[in-house]
Amino acid sequence: MRWTRARAKGHLEERSRKWIAEKKRQTADKENPQRAKQAR
């Protein structure tokens, strides 16, 4: 598989999306510990 510029860009966007989602989840957990306990 060739590592093209388009693929690299898509890969970075995917990773940043996951990172942002994780950060949002952590922030929500801090703001609402009760809800976080129920979700797990």
pLDDT in tens, 1-40: 687 999 999 999 999 999 999 999 999 888 887 766 665 5
Token pair for 31: 């703001």
The pTM of this model reads: 0.53
Structural domain boundaries, residue 19 = 5-39
Give the chain's domain count: 1
Measured CA to CA in angstroms, residue 23 lies from 14, 18, 31 at distances of 14, 9, 12
The pLDDT value given to residue 3: 74
Count of residues making up the chain: 40
pLDDT at 29: 83
